């Protein structure tokens, strides 16, 4: 049995070809182990990166969904508020027409009442003048007294009719004015609601603009992380495949080295080892 020099990695009793061959097999095994270790280190780094990116991607995906939901809810609210604004705008125009109509109505009723009042006064005055004329005549004339009584009665009737018409007219004017006041109050309240909801609509539009910008930024970040996550998946899969290949190569070179040693009449032991 041959002896082996173990201090310098050579065998002074083996043939140079055999020593070189076994030495080469050993180096192949060690190089394979180094390459495997390097790949495993790269794989570990990539897995850590993938975990970090994956966690950030999960977070940004949640933020993206929340931003989209917020934007959707804001747009839904805006559509509803816009309908309310449209309603109050239309209602405000209608109530303004009602105010205008009530104003015209009150004015016309007032003018008609004034006309009736003046007509009644003129009629009473006319009859009074006739009575006065008769009274200036022969008071002993029965015919004159008869006509005087008739005209006096007419004065009373005309005065009563004029007063009744005037009173009715005044009531109508008051009613028309009350309608004007009521419609004006309704119009003011409607205008107030219109202004409030219009302001709210503007605020919502501002909010939607802000949410839209935020959602766009989040979406861009989401797309970047999505691409990065997919790229890391491919890299991890690729290095995983290479690690498996080099695990096989390490096992194969180790087996070749062991087989060569077992088939030889000596065992080669290097002084130092590149890998454990």
When pLDDT is averaged across residues 245-257 and rounded to a whole number, the result is 90
Mean pLDDT check: name the lowest of 189-193, 221-225, 260-264.
260-264
C-alpha distances (whole Å) from 23 to each of 185, 186, 258, 270 are 107, 105, 11, 8
Which residue in this structure is represented by tokens 């570990």? 44
Percent of residues, the chain, with pLDDT higher than 70: 69
Return the half-sphere exposure (C-beta side, CA atoms, 13 A cut-off) of residue 58.
5
Query: Among candidates 14, 167, 194, 225, which has minimal Cα distance to 96?
Result: 194
pLDDT at 22: 86
pTM: 0.58
At 32-91, the pLDDT tens digits run 999 999 999 999 999 999 999 999 999 999 999 999 999 999 999 999 989 988 988 888
The two tokens of residue 275 are 């890998």
Lowest mean pLDDT among 67-76, 131-140, 241-250, 257-266: 131-140
For the chain, the C-alpha Rg in angstroms (whole number) is 56
Residue 83's CB: how many other CB atoms inside 10 A? Answer: 11
Most confident of 59-68, 90-99, 114-123: 59-68
Q: Is the pLDDT of residue 10 over 60?
A: no
- Under DSSP, the state recorded for 14 is S
Q: Residue 271: what are its φ and ψ, rounded to 5°? A: -70, -40
Q: What distances in angstroms separate CA 227 from CA 17, 51, 68, 92, 222, one per listed residue?
A: 54, 14, 20, 54, 9
Give percent of the chain above pLDDT 90. Answer: 38
- The pLDDT-based confidence of 2 (bands split at 50, 70, 90) is very low
Going by C-alpha positions, the residue among 46, 49, 44 that lies closest to residue 225 is 49
**What's the pLDDT score for residue 150?**
58
- pLDDT tops 60 at residue 271: no
DSSP code of residue 270 = -
**pLDDT band, residue 120 (cuts 50/70/90):** low
CA distances from 235 to 36, 68, 225, 246 (A): 16, 31, 15, 16
Q: Give SS3 for 15.
A: coil
What pLDDT, on the 0 to 100 scale, is given for residue 181? 78
Domain spans, the chain: 16-263
Rounded to whole angstroms, the Cα distance separating 271 from 220 reads: 58
pLDDT in tens, 208-243: 999 999 999 999 999 999 999 999 999 999 999 999
pLDDT over 50 at 266, yes or no = no
Please say whether the beta carbons of 103 and 153 come within 8 A: no
Closest residue by Cα to residue 44 from 231, 230, 225, 239:
239
Tens of pLDDT, residues 147-186:
555 555 655 665 666 666 667 767 777 777 777 778 788 8
Specify whether domain 16-263 bears CATH 1.10.287.950: yes
Q: What is the 3-state secondary structure (H, E, C) of 181-241?
A: HHHHHHHHHHHHHHHHHHHHHHHHHHHHHHHHHHHHHHHHHHHHHHHHHHHHHHHHHHHHH
């Amino acid at each position: 049995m041959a002896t082996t020099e173990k201090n310098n990695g050579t065998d002074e009793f083996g043939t140079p070809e055999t020593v070189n061959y076994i030495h080469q097999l050993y180096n192949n095994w060690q190089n394979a182990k180094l390459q495997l270790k390097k790949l495993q280190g790269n794989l570990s780094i990539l897995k850590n990166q993938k975990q970090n990116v994956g966690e950030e991607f999960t977070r940004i995906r949640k933020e993206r969904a929340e931003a989209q939901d917020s934007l959707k809810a804001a747009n839904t609210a805006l559509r509803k508020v816009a309908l309310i604004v449209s309603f109050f705008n239309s209602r405000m125009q209608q109530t303004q027409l009602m105010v205008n109509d009530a104003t015209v109505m009150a004015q016309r009723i007032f003018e008609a009442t004034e006309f009736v009042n003046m007509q009644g006064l003129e009629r009473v005055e006319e009859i009074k003048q006739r009575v006065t004329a008769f009274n200036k005549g022969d008071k002993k004339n029965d015919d004159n007294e008869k006509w005087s009584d008739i005209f006096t009665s007419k004065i009373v009737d005309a005065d009563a009719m004029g007063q009744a018409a005037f009173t009715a007219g005044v009531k109508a004017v008051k009613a028309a004015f009350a309608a004007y006041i009521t419609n004006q109050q309704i119009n003011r309240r409607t205008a107030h609601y219109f202004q409030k909801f219009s302001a709210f609509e503007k605020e919502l539009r501002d909010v939607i603009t802000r949410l839209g910008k935020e959602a766009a930024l989040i979406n861009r970040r989401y797309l970047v992380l999505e691409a990065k996550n997919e790229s890391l998946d491919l890299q991890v899969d690729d290095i995983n495949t290479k690690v498996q290949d080099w695990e096989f190569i390490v096992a194969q070179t180790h087996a070749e080295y062991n087989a060569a040693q077992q088939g030889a009449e000596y065992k080669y032991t290097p002084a130092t080892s590149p890998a454990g």
